[in-house]
Amino acid sequence: MDDLSEKKLRIDALDRKILTELQEDASQSLDDIARKIGSSKTPVWNRIRKLKDAGVITKQTVILDPDAVGLGTCFFVLIRTSEHEAGWQQKFLNALQSRPEVLEAHRLAGEIDYIVKLRVSDARAYDAFYQALIAEVKIFNVTALLSMEELKSTTFLPV
């Protein structure tokens, strides 16, 4: 059975409870998780290990307040290109992956080819990103959208 089937077929109700607890606070103890879901520590530990081994849990991290670390300005960048060759795509991917201000990048269906979410300190920092990107990769059109207010942001998946 491949990893994808493993993820789809083997996650039961108890696994989902564990995943929910970990998404709420991955730093809580195994004892706390076990108590909250009505289990004991060892089965919880075994299930977490199984979920990690299967690739369901890919990483544990912390979430920072962007304003507190000086990255309170969020831009969504819409990119159109006339280039669709594999070489261009790889160069573009490398350019995005090398820039820490890029939080997300998606290839889209429709008139816009890509959308990129980035966090920077201010508009000047965005312009530096923009200038560096267009110097490195040929792009047909770039539209930057400044987020005026974040209404919802979550990493929580509804498992």
Residues 9-53 have pLDDT tens digits of: 579 999 999 999 999 999 999 999 999 999 999 999 999 999 999
pLDDT higher than 60, residue 156: yes
Q: How far apart are CA 76 and CA 72, in angstroms?
A: 13
What angle is formed at CA 21 by the lines to CA 10 and CA 101, rounded to 5 degrees? 95
How far from 158 is each of 18, 44, 64, 144, CA to CA, in Å?
12, 20, 21, 30
Q: What is the pLDDT of residue 9?
A: 52
Q: How far apart are CA 125 and CA 38, in angstroms?
A: 49
Cα R_g (the chain), whole angstroms: 20
The Cβ of residue 121 has, within 10 Å, a number of other Cβ atoms equal to 15
Q: Identify whether the C-beta of residue 118 lies closer than 8 Å to the C-beta of residue 128.
A: no
Q: How far apart are CA 96 and CA 114, in angstroms?
A: 11
> Which tens digits make up the pLDDT trace of 54-91?
999 999 999 999 999 999 999 999 999 999 899 999 99
CA 71, distance to chain mean position in Å, is 17
Domains contained in the chain, CATH given: 3-53 (1.10.10.10), 73-146 (3.30.70.920)
105 sits in which H/E element: strand 102-107
Q: How far apart are CA 124 and CA 144, in angstroms?
A: 13
Q: How far apart are CA 40 and CA 34, in angstroms?
A: 5
The predicted model scores a pTM of 0.85
